[in-house]
Every structure is written in structure tokens, then in C-alpha cells.
Amino acid sequence: MSFGSEGTSYSKKARPESLLPQATQGPLVLGIALVDFDHLVGPKIEFSRGDVVEDEEIAKILPFLALPDGAHLSSEDYSYFHLVPSTSPSPTTIFGISCNRQISAADLLVKDPDVTRSTVQKAVVVLASKPVFGLIRDRLGVITKALFAQRNFSDMSILDDFYMSLEHSLRSQMTESGLYMGARELVHTFRQRTLVLLKALMLQKKIMFFGHPVERLCTYQYSLVTLMPGLLQNLDDCGSPPLAARAQTLSRPTSLKTSDPKSMMTFVGMPLDLFGKDAFFQPYLPLQQLDMLKDTQSWLCGSTNTIVTQQKEVDILVNVENGTMEFRDPKLERIAGLTPADRKWMDDIVRDVNDTFVEDPTKPLDMHFKGSDDYLRQKVRSMASVYAILYSSSAQFDDYISAVLSSVKYADFLAKVQAGGVGIEAGMCFEMSHLMPCMPHRCCFTKVIRTQHKTSMRSGSKSSRRRMHTKSGNVSPNPISLTLLKQGK
């Protein structure tokens, strides 16, 4: 089964309003490479185009990312990974994707002297400035298959042509939907526990995915990231813990336009800076990068090697082969656990996905909006703010996240009221619960609101209680760390 983005199956011209303006800044394709597995020295770069491949750090780690452990178990597999150049004055994340295949040495028309085993294994790699994996994947698969069909690896003209044409090919289809990985497979596999993963990601925990094939391992992680509104377009700092360029550009919003979804998202602090300083995201983590797990506060990683899964730093181990989760931190299991309201909310989503899910990719899809990837992303995004809920007709995953962030902002507000620094005057006599439904019966992170609200009501003066025309409503029992919202409080 293919786990590529569903957006790759459409070749029609993109609407101008859907094009990503930031994609025009600099080249998309930074380089390509061919990685060969040498049975004496291990994986090595055999051919490359693009200056970025000459970087010392990239040249050293790229072969191990392109040909992951266990690649020989599949006739074809894809690996997704992130790199950071060592020589750049302003380092940023480079997004890599590789397609690996193998061929019998006996089938080669021209056999290199280094070929000493019965099988030849190689991977074609594309390095890009944006995570446009869905757009690159199908093109990369065709080129890799054609290269192996030559049965002659001394002729690299097909890779030269691929490098020269890929940039223009991607530009014509560079839309927001082209960035997304399908989330339906993730929800179909993990069902209600998809929300548990989303909570753990928001809480910036240490999440390790494990299993084969590598493409499923990587796309499940990207599917999870896709559910966070705006995060996929802001991963420039995710490749290494020290990177924190985005944090320097964040500021509190000074205005709000309720008719503009982007304005409402910004108002509640989205996209969250989940992979900033002291955090990183590596869809496939080789043993050579194992040290990155130590002394790093937060990460999202994937591995096919059991050695990595045995690391004591792991908070949650997610097995993509059997769809199970192992909590190494009991406290996190309680915090990220689902409330009855959470389960009911997720039951609706899981049902919508399963009703339209087709296991066999060769069968045609009778796809409707309900249950689609866009539907799932909206389920997490339309909660972009308190006001998004007021103006949205359906509670969608996006709704959930907006409610969480709105709840945290409200809790922060109540804390300031308790300290005597702010209040609501008599002229603003509306119920905060009306302004801030924040799905209190659905949102699992709002205990902090209830607790701080009751405390402020007990300890506040009569005049402050008169100013505070609020009520807490029925909330669920799990708090969220306020540190997530430094940029949006």
C-alpha cells in the first residue's frame, strides 16, 4: 500500500490562492544523490548534484538516512529525514526523501568490480528546502525504477535530467495541500488513541515510532504533525535541538479579525513552536544520531532498530506494525488519557474515516468530504480561536486544538485576575463561558481553568467578583503545560 500524499494524484493546474508564497523564496530542490550499499564499508554516496551534498555533515550522515536499517526487507521503500548543514552561517533544516530498491547482481548488464554479493542495493535521494514529500515521492519512484531498469549504474544521465527538471515540475504544483500527508491511515490504525498522540505532541514529550516499513513509519509521524494547524509550513528549526530562529520572530498579536481564519489562529498562538530550541523531529533516526536523544527535552522520532527503542529517554513508544502504544511515563499516560467526552468525540471521527476507508489502493475511492484528510485537519483546526467556535457550524480536530489553546489563554487570564493585574469591568457584562465555549465538555486540558477560577473566586474581593461575570462549566480532568503558549499568551 502506498502512503504518499493524496495530493500527488492530481495534475490539474493549482488555483492561485492555494499556492504557497513562501515557496518562491530560493530553490526548492537543493540536490540529489545516489547512495550505494558497499558490503565492506557500508552505505556511501556514489553520485550527487548540488552544492549542499558537499557539506561535510550532510555527506557524513546522508548515506545512513537514505538506506535505513532493514531496507533489504522490501523490494522498494521510502525514507523521510531531516538534515542540517554544518557550513551555513544561518543553518536551517533540509528535508530529504529517498527511494531504495535492490536488483540481483546477475541481472546487471555492466557489473562494477565492487559488486561482490548477489544483490545490489541503492537509493536515489532528493534534498529540498520544504517538506514537499508528497509532490516528490511519485516522481522519485518513477526515476528510481527507470534507473534500475537500465541494469547499468555507470550511466547517470537519467539522474542529471531528473535534477534539471524537478524544480520546475514542483513549482507548478506547489500548493498547501501538496505538503500534507494523509491522516486517514493514522486514524484508521490508532483510532481514538490518535488524540492521545496529539496531546503528547502538544505537551512536547519524547515520542518514538517503531516498525516497518520505513515509509509507513515516517508518514505516520508527518500525519500527526499535519494535524497541528500551520506546523507543517514552519519546520525550519526541527532538524536539530539548537535551532531556534523562529522563536526570535514571534510576537503577541495586536489585532484580531474574526472573519479571517489565519488571524484567529495567530491570536491563540498557532502554529505552536513545538520543534524550536531543545527539541527536534527526525522521521527516521539512524543509530549514528542516537546521541541526539540524550539531554534533549522534546522530540518526535522514528526507528526500525530495537536498540533505539530501548533508550530510557522515551516517554511513549508507538508500534506502527500492530498499532500499540507503550507509556514509559505513567504520569503522561494519565495526563494524555481520554475523557469520556474525548472518546465520544473521537468515536465520530473514527466512524467517519472507517466508513470511507479502502484497504486496497487499486480500488476506486468514492470519497466525500466527511472522513477525508481535509475533514480531519478541519477537526483539529477550526478551533483556531474562541471566536472560531462561535462562527463554525461543526466541531472539527482543528476545533479541538483551538479549544485547548483558548483554555490555556483563559487560565492565564484568570491567574492575572487573581494577582490583581487585570479584570473585566461592569460594562463588559457578558458570560465568559459564552465567549469561550472552548468545548469545555470536550476539551481534556481545561482542569487548570476550573481550578484557577475557583481559587480566584474564593480569594478575590467582592468588587473583583462583581467584575468577573464568569462561570467554569463542566470541564474534563487534564491540565496542559502553559509553556506551550509563550508566543501566544
C-alpha gyration radius of the chain:
24
* DSSP output for 155-177: --HHHHHHHHHHHHHHHTT-BHH
Whether pLDDT at 8 is above 60: no
For 334: left if phi > 0, alpha if psi spans -120 to 50, otherwise beta; the answer is alpha
Quote the pTM value: 0.78
Q: For residue 471, which amino acid is it?
A: K
What rounded mean pLDDT belongs to the chain? 78
Q: Report the CATH number of the 24-175 domain.
A: 3.30.450
Residue 380 clears pLDDT 70, i.e. is over it: no
Q: How far apart are CA 197 and CA 165, in angstroms?
A: 39
CA-based torsion, 318, 335, 375, 98: positive or negative: negative
Largest CA distance in the chain: 90
pLDDT digits (tens, 9 = 90+) for 311-364: 999 999 999 999 999 999 889 999 999 989 889 989 988 998 888 777 765 554
Distance of CA 469 to the CA centre of its chain: 39
pLDDT the model gives residue 440? 35
Helices (H), ranges, 290-431? 306-309, 330-335, 340-355, 373-381, 386-391, 398-418
Distances from the Cα of 448 to the Cαs of 408, 411, 441, in angstroms? 8, 6, 14
Length of the chain: 489
Residue 477 in this model has a pLDDT that exceeds 60? no
Q: What integer pLDDT is reported at residue 18 of this predicted model?
A: 47
The predicted pLDDT at position 220 comes to 96
Question: H-helix or E-strand containing 281?
Answer: strand 279-282
Residue ranges, CATH 3.40.50, the chain:
184-339
Indicate if the pLDDT at residue 80 is higher than 90. Answer: yes
Q: Can you tell me the distance from the alpha carbon of 183 to that of 177, in angstroms, rounded to the nearest whole number? A: 12
Distance CA 424, CA 442 (A): 26
Residue 110 Cα distances to 30, 43, 154, 313, angstroms: 30, 20, 8, 48
Taking only the tens place, the pLDDT of each residue in 147-161 is 999 999 999 999 999
Whether cis (ω within 30° of 0) applies to the bond prior to 213 is yes
* CB count in 10 Å sphere of residue 203: 21
Residue 457 binned pLDDT confidence (cut-offs 50, 70, 90): very low
- Most confident option among 83-92, 168-177, 466-475: 83-92
Among residues of the chain, what percentage have pLDDT more than 70? 72
* Cell 484528510 -> residue: 373
Decide which of 167 and 388 is more confident: 167
Each residue's pLDDT tens digit, 407-434? 777 777 788 777 776 555 444 333 333 3
Top mean pLDDT of 43-52, 116-125, 394-403 is at 43-52
Among 116-130, 241-255, 451-465, which stretch is predicted with the lowest mean pLDDT? 451-465
Q: Is the dihedral of CA 289, 291, 294, 296 positive or negative?
A: negative
Task: Please give the grid coordinates belonging to residue 15.
Answer: 488555483
Can you tell me the distance from the alpha carbon of 241 to that of 286, in angstroms, rounded to the nearest whole number? 16
How far apart are alpha carbons 245 and 72 in whole angstroms? 38
Q: Are strands 206-210 and 316-319 parallel, antiparallel or unpaired?
A: parallel
d(CA 260, CA 257): 5
pLDDT tens profile 187-240: 999 999 999 999 999 999 999 999 999 999 999 999 999 888 889 989 999 999
Domain formed by 184-339, architecture: 3-Layer(aba) Sandwich (3.40)
Between 460 and 293, the higher pLDDT residue: 293
Taking residues 251-256, report their average pLDDT.
Answer: 84
CA neighbor of 187 nearest in space, from 26, 333, 375, 364? 375
- The CATH 3.30.450 portion of the chain extends over 24-175
